[in-house]
């Protein structure tokens, strides 16, 4: 879409597939909305369309309190320059303090500050600091609306540093106070059983059954559990200089379309922004299925809305991948469960099947080869696990979605015991790289009836930059052969 008429027709349709793809500023009200907003459609001459919430706010519009722009799935860029911007944004997200230090972010990306700013303006239309400020404001608005955390706690969680700063920025951007935002919230029931319930949106179609089946087959006993279509897991994260432990549960929202319901133990309230960020990647909530399926063509026709299963914790997922080398999924499940129970910390939850926190890189790095091998894990694999843990613990390897995928794959294959398949599989899930392609995978070879790696790579060129989604479709083809 690139004309006012095209945007307006999409607005009239209220098609949820366009949610987050653009926003509409209404000049007669001074408010900007998602294209799925249920208010009466404004006149065409009063509509101004923007590619992001940041652009709408830069033009002077306030977020709609009804459709809540903070709920819209994020826009994604998949060209090389866009990836640099995504990495910069996610570097700040993962840092936990929310302050955009352009110099350190640019250094992390091996870019000059000037070049980073230029990339941001080219792709976002606003300076990176402005874009991130909008994200912080919308993040705070979400927590004000959906939780009963104190306004002071929300101010610090979202990186404002003080209650006064939060008030100042809300008044400046929205001409509303945080208290007014909270009073406008529709859901005012207090939390029960020390649980926080939040909502995360996605663009339909969404193959929840396929995704939860994939995750369920690869759970780590006592760390993760899938039951009756609900995903449960224990959580240990480091956020804002503190360690937070607890549990969470994810399921389709019972009353709202195109959304997931997230129940989080109140003990994790101090890390909510990071936890929500990780879940958005694990459950692939920012994907644009219409765009992806069009690019994959006939391959995507049998299964609409296939998602790329991410990982809540990159280290945990990488260990699970290493343990799964050259053995069945069931055998890998057994080994991963032993590993977690032997070296992980115990945690209290209300669920019988959740009682262990997966061990940290620091813990695993301190283990001996014999300790790991005693679980029935072969010695060479134990060496690989320890080497990987040390690389992460020492800050030499990043397995988060903010990492540069090609460079990370190169770093992984330099580690003993990690080959091209494992590296691409880790990139596909832990880094959530949509173009990862483990071309030596036997399932891919079988699905395409082709065993020559170079021929497989040549065939996959047509699916760039969505080759990882092609992998999911090819694996599904084996489950349900035509």
The residue-averaged pLDDT of 228-251 equals 96
Looking at the whole model, is its pTM more than 0.75?
yes
pLDDT at 242: 92
Rounded-to-integer distance, Cα 316 and Cα 298, Å:
34
Query: Phi, psi at residue 252, to the nearest 5°?
Result: -60, 140
Rounded-to-integer distance, Cα 430 and Cα 432, Å:
5
Which of 5, 61, 10 has the alpha carbon at shortest distance from 33?
61
* pLDDT grade for 191, boundaries at 50, 70 and 90: low
H or E element that contains 403: none
Domain ranges of the chain: 4-71, 80-184
The tokens describing 159, both together, are 């990186």
H or E element that contains 243: strand 242-252
Checking if the pLDDT of 90 tops 80, the result is: no
H or E element that contains 36: none
What are the beta bridge partners of residue 230? 227
Q: Which of 207, 293, 313, 441 is catalytic?
A: 441
Alpha carbon of 364 to those of 227, 233, 337: distances in Å? Answer: 29, 20, 15
Number of H helices, E strands in the chain: 22, 11
CB 346 within 8 A of CB 356: yes
Please, is 82 exposed, middle or buried when counting C-beta atoms within 10 Å of its C-beta (0-12, 13-18, 19+)? middle
pLDDT at 482: 44
The rounded mean pLDDT for the chain is: 92
Rounded-to-integer distance, Cα 426 and Cα 341, Å:
23
CB 465 within 8 A of CB 435: yes
Checking if the pLDDT of 389 tops 90, the result is: yes
The residue-averaged pLDDT of 188-199 equals 77
How many Å from the N-terminal Cα to the C-terminal Cα in the chain? 35
The conformational region for residue 72 under phi > 0 = left, psi -120 to 50 = alpha, else beta, is beta
Rounded-to-integer distance, Cα 14 and Cα 470, Å:
29
Does the annotation count 441 as an active-site position? yes
DSSP label at residue 106: H
Q: Which residue has the higher pLDDT, 81 or 212?
A: 212
CA 108 to chain centre: 20
Kindly state which CATH superfamily the domain 4-71 is placed in: DNA Methylphosphotriester Repair Domain (3.40.10.10)
Cα angle: 132, vertex 173, 44; to 5 degrees: 95
pLDDT at 190: 59
pLDDT at 101: 67
The residue-averaged pLDDT of 389-395 equals 97
pLDDT at 77: 66
Rounded-to-integer distance, Cα 177 and Cα 66, Å:
17
Helix (H/G/I), strand (E/B), else coil: 175:
coil
* pLDDT grade for 116, boundaries at 50, 70 and 90: confident
For the stretch 338-387, pLDDT in tens is 999 999 999 999 999 999 999 999 999 999 999 999 999 999 999 999 99
Mean pLDDT check: name the lowest of 125-134, 285-294, 439-448: 125-134
What are the beta bridge partners of residue 252? 260
DSSP label at residue 419: -
- 80-184 carries CATH number 1.10.10.60: yes
């Amino acid at each position: 879409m690139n004309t006012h008429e095209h945007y307006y027709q999409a607005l009239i349709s209220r098609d949820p597939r366009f949610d987050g793809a653009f926003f509409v500023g209404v000049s007669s009200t001074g408010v900007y909305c998602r294209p799925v907003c249920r208010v009466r459609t404004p006149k065409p001459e009063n509509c101004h369309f923007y590619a992001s919430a940041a652009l709408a706010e830069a033009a002077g519009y306030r977020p709609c309190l009804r459709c809540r722009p903070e709920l819209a799935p994020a826009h994604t860029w998949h060209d090389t320059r866009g990836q640099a911007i995504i990495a910069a944004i996610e570097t700040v997200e993962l840092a936990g303090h929310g302050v955009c230090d352009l110099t350190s972010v640019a250094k992390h990306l091996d870019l000059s500050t000037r070049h980073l700013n230029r990339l941001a303006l080219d792709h976002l239309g606003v300076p990176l600091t402005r874009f991130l400020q909008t994200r912080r404001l919308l993040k705070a608005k979400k927590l004000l609306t959906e939780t009963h955390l104190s306004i002071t706690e929300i101010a610090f969680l979202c990186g404002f540093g003080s209650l006064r700063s939060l008030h100042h920025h809300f008044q400046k951007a929205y001409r509303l106070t945080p208290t007014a935002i909270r009073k406008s919230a529709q859901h005012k029931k207090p939390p029960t059983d020390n649980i926080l319930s939040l909502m995360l949106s996605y663009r339909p179609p969404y193959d929840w059954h396929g995704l939860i089946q994939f995750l369920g087959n690869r759970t780590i006993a006592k760390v993760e559990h899938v039951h009756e279509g609900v995903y449960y897991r224990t959580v240990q994260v480091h956020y804002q200089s503190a360690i937070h432990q607890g549990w969470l549960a994810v399921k389709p929202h019972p009353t709202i379309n195109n959304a997931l319901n997230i129940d989080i133990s109140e003990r994790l309230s101090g890390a909510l922004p990071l936890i929500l960020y990780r879940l958005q990647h694990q459950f692939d909530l920012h994907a644009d299925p219409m765009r992806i399926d069009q690019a994959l063509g006939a391959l995507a026709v049998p299964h609409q809305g296939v998602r790329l299963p991410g990982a809540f914790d990159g280290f945990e997922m990488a260990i699970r991948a290493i343990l799964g080398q050259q053995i069945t999924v069931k055998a890998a499940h057994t080994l991963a469960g032993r590993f977690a129970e032997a070296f992980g910390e115990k945690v209290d939850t209300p669920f019988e099947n959740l009682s262990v926190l997966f061990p940290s890189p620091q813990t695993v790095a301190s283990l001996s080869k014999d300790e790991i091998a005693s679980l029935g894990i072969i010695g060479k694999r134990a060496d690989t696990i320890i080497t990987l843990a040390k690389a992460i613990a020492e800050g030499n390897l990043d397995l988060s979605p903010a990492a540069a995928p090609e460079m990370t794959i190169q770093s992984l294959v330099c580690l003993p015991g990690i080959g091209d398949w494992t590296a691409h599989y880790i990139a596909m899930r832990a880094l959530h790289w949509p173009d990862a392609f483990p071309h030596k995978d036997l399932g891919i070879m079988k699905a395409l009836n082709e065993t020559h790696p170079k021929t497989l790579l040549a065939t996959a060129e047509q699916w760039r930059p969505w080759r990882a989604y092609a992998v999911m479709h090819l694996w599904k083809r084996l489950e349900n052969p035509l």
